[in-house]
Structure 1
Amino acid sequence: MTAFAALPFLPDAVIFDMDGLMIDSERVSIACWSQAAQELALPFPAGFWLRMVGLGDRDCERLLLQTVTAEQVAALFARCHDLYEARTQQGLPLRPGILEILQLLHEHGVPRAVATSTRQPRASRKLAAAGLLPFFEVVVTSSDVAHPKPAPDIYLLAAQKLGKDPARCLALEDSPAGIRAAVGAGMTAIQVPDLVHPDEELRALGHRIVDSLLDARALLMPLLPVTGAR
């Protein structure tokens, strides 16, 4: 692992994004958007779909409306939804290191929550299908807040539901929108980039950026008590 700044404290809770961080779903989502647009003969340029990574439905809709009509957006959402549901029912792979970090936190009794831009009930279905739902005490989605990421509302609500001070929470994210939300909530944030890598403006936020969840786990290890010592 590359040398990263040590975490300043053992977090009272760790809050996880879902898509692109725990579940390798962003590539599937982009493929479904692209296929739906092609089927509907809608004119989106290459690379457009990366702009939607980490955003909630309303922000995605606003982006789409810059290119096509409201009627076309509705048709695109409906077709993409059908394609994505079919793919998720087949099962989506996990991101490397997610089970290792969740098991570590579980063993040490560190509370865990999900804060995702995916709406309910899809979020819970995806977590359950991936076998991840039992690891979390709280699941907060964009259905639960007025303002999704990059607003901090999702992270603030997750901390509230866990009964923890946001300043004592660690947030794990892959997307720029998610990092802005976590930092805006006053949390210590670690970014594990997937499809979208941080630019200089995002790096200026001062959060930690690592290559994998295994690196994030390694940052937590020195803060946790040794178990099984004899």
Structure 2
Amino acid sequence: MTDRLADACALVAAAQPAACIFDFDGTLVDTGTLNTDAARATLTDLGLTIPELWLREAPLADLTALRRRLRADLGVPLPCTDAEFVDRARAHWLARAGLVRPVAHVAALARHLASVSVPLAVASANDGQVVRASLTAVGLTDLFDTVIAREHVTRLKPAPEVYRLAAARLSVAPHRCLAFENTDQGIAAAHAAGVPVIDVRHRAWTVDEPSGGGRAGGPIA
């Protein structure tokens, strides 16, 4: 066991969660530019050529916000239904799912937690088929008791629905869960649901409680 994994295991053991909930993109797996690539390909299918820099900063998960930004910034409508956009983007994503890679220390922690029978879930704003195909590609599918994705909720992160539903599916109260996230929106979603969070972007992990308090963890180098 590496020092980084040992420190992570010790921190989680000290927190004593009854279940753990992992974000997908950038937390469990490194999707690189796949989300942007799938959106770009979809927009190209629809006859739209969108500047790369704009696309990198666009709210790709929230199609209502994406429509609004396209009109406000570029003066163009999104010429399809939300369902058509999702279907096209999913197809482009799935064709590239083999390119995803696990975030090594987070994936190793998830494997350890599963090995000691901690219930695990994924809570993602991405498409469920995309999440499951990617987990399969990196050999993580069997670790998770449930996968909650964009189609399972009416409001995406930072709304708390995805975390509340994940906790409910695991039959664990939100405050007894522990989330792993890599975005401010994801952390806000977990906290709004009453779930403590570890921000995996930090070199030294801490458990941040919904109230804003935290318990310091050692450096995970």
Partners in 2 of 1:62 and 1:73 — Cα distance?
A: 14
Partners in 1 of 2:154 and 2:85 — Cα distance?
A: 23
Which of the numbers 109, 122, 134 marks the counterpart of 1:114?
Answer: 122
Instruction: Say whether residues 1:100 and 2:101 are aligned partners.
Output: no
The aligned residue for residue 95 of structure 2 is 86
Offset, 1:179: 1.3
Pair 176,62 (structure 1): closer, same or farther in 2 beyond 3 Å: farther
Which of the numbers 43, 49, 58 marks the counterpart of 2:56?
Answer: 49
CA contact (8 A) 1:56 1:149 kept: no
The aligned residue for residue 169 of structure 1 is 177
The aligned residue for residue 27 of structure 2 is 21
Partners in 2 of 1:180 and 1:85 — Cα distance?
A: 29
Partners in 1 of 2:26 and 2:186 — Cα distance?
A: 11
The aligned residue for residue 200 of structure 2 is 192
The aligned residue for residue 123 of structure 1 is 131
Pair 14,207 (structure 1): closer, same or farther in 2 beyond 3 Å: farther
Which of the numbers 65, 68, 77 marks the counterpart of 1:69?
Answer: 77
Instruction: Say whether residues 1:153 and 2:182 are aligned partners.
Output: no
Offset, 1:95: 1.4
Pair 56,206 (structure 1): closer, same or farther in 2 beyond 3 Å: same
What secondary structure sits across from 2:128 in the alignment? coil
Structure 1 regions of 5+ residues with no counterpart? 195-204, 219-230
Instruction: Say whether residues 1:31 and 2:40 are aligned partners.
Output: no
Offset, 1:17: 0.8
CA deviations over 1:77-107 (Å, ceiling 9, x no partner): 666444323211x341111213310121022
> More strand by proportion, 1 or 2?
2
What letter is aligned with 1:126?
S
Q: Supply the RMSD in Å over aligned alpha carbons.
A: 3.5
CA deviations over 1:35-90 (Å, ceiling 9, x no partner): 6557845344625423437x4444444444433203178787666444323211x3
Which of the numbers 17, 28, 42 marks the counterpart of 1:11?
Answer: 17
The aligned residue for residue 178 of structure 1 is 186
What secondary structure sits across from 2:94 in the alignment? helix
Structure 2 regions of 5+ residues with no counterpart? 203-210
Q: State TM-score, norm by structure 1.
A: 0.70
Partners in 1 of 2:51 and 2:87 — Cα distance?
A: 17
CA contact (8 A) 2:167 2:177 kept: yes
The aligned residue for residue 144 of structure 2 is 136
**Greater relative CO, 1 or 2 (CA 8 Å, sep 6+):** 1
Partners in 1 of 2:64 and 2:131 — Cα distance?
A: 16
Partners in 2 of 1:14 and 1:83 — Cα distance?
A: 30
The aligned residue for residue 228 of structure 1 is none
